[in-house]
Structure 1
Amino acid sequence: MDVLRRATAADAAHLTALVRRSGAYRGGYAAMVEDYEVTADYIAAHEVFVAEADDGALLGFYALVLGPPAELDLMFVADTAQGLGVGRRLASHMKDRARAAGLSGVRVVSHPPSEGFYRSVGARRVGTVPAALPKITWERPELEFVLG
């Protein structure tokens, strides 16, 4: 990964496509993201950062909502970039941005298969969030990054 930069309105369609194409949301999880849209207004309102390859290919992104409450609202890594350290770099950057904003913690409501990743980068489980019918039919792990 060569570049980690602030997202712009021009990135909205690409971020939306990354969310909707995510292999982590196939099968029973597909309904959660099938109509999801990352808008230019959303990008303007929140701390949204994009990871790009040397050739400009989108590797992943995150969106930090400063709150209150502070929350890591989105983090996606392209299927082709899984296992390359992109998610770890995004998580580290997000924690640095949160600290710089004066936050002491950041909440994450995780996609169940992603809980292990978040725990591996320092989040701790604090509970569960119930299903949000009709699109989300499963409980989701609630985690928190405690920032020192």
Structure 2
Amino acid sequence: MNEPLTVTARGPGGRRCREVVRIVRATARDAGRLTRMVRGSRAYEGHYAAMVAGYRVGPDYIESHEVHLAVGDEGRLLGFYALVLSPPELDLMFVADHAQGLGIGRLLIAHMKDRARAAGVRSVRVVSHPPAEGFYLSVGARRAGTVPAAPPAVLWDRPELLFTVE
């Protein structure tokens, strides 16, 4: 699943251009740009903003987990995911706002499943951001339950989903 994907993206000035997307392993040096992507995501505007306001993806987190980036031409960050192997969970997944709808999320999920399978994992849990549930269901997750709100950080219930990766 390391084959590059070619997408039509919006470049500087909003003009459309073709871009080759590759999935690469994150390094500790990527921590700052991953943190910026999380904190700046439009998916966490409004009442969801408090959940990511102080969130940090640290170098130690990147080194401890399967963190992979979707990068375009010249290393432009298009998205990323973090797979925790024990217990198996898709802990983070973000697609850059400007790259939404290009297939980056599907590419990241396929890669995540391949990495989980290679590690001997049979299923991967996802506690989803509520607006992202439809996406996860569309790429093969199934509903497993609901995780109750955990104030003060999380003020809403979240869908719990499972990916089967065998």
The amino acid across from 1:24 in the alignment is A
Partner in structure 2 of residue 37 of structure 1: 56
**Which 4+ stretches in 1 moved above 3 angstroms?**
none
Distance in 2, matches of 1:29 and 1:2, equals 29
Partner in structure 2 of residue 60 of structure 1: 79
TM-score normalised by structure 2 residue count: 0.87
TM-superposed CA distance for 1:56, in Å, is 1.7
Partner in structure 1 of residue 88 of structure 2: 70
Give the RMSD, CA atoms, in angstroms: 0.7
SS at match of 1:125: strand
Partner in structure 2 of residue 108 of structure 1: 126
Q: Across the two proteins, how many residue pairs are aligned to each other?
A: 147
Q: Point out the structure with max Rg over C-alpha.
A: 2
TM-score normalised by structure 1 residue count: 0.98
1:1-148 counterparts in 2 under 5 A?
A: 1-67=20-86, 69-148=87-166
Distance in 2, matches of 1:3 and 1:146, equals 24
Structure 1 gaps, min length 5:
none
- Identity level (%): 67
TM-superposed CA distance for 1:113, in Å, is 0.2
SS at match of 1:2: strand
Which protein is richer in strand relative to its size? 2
TM-superposed CA distance for 1:98, in Å, is 0.2
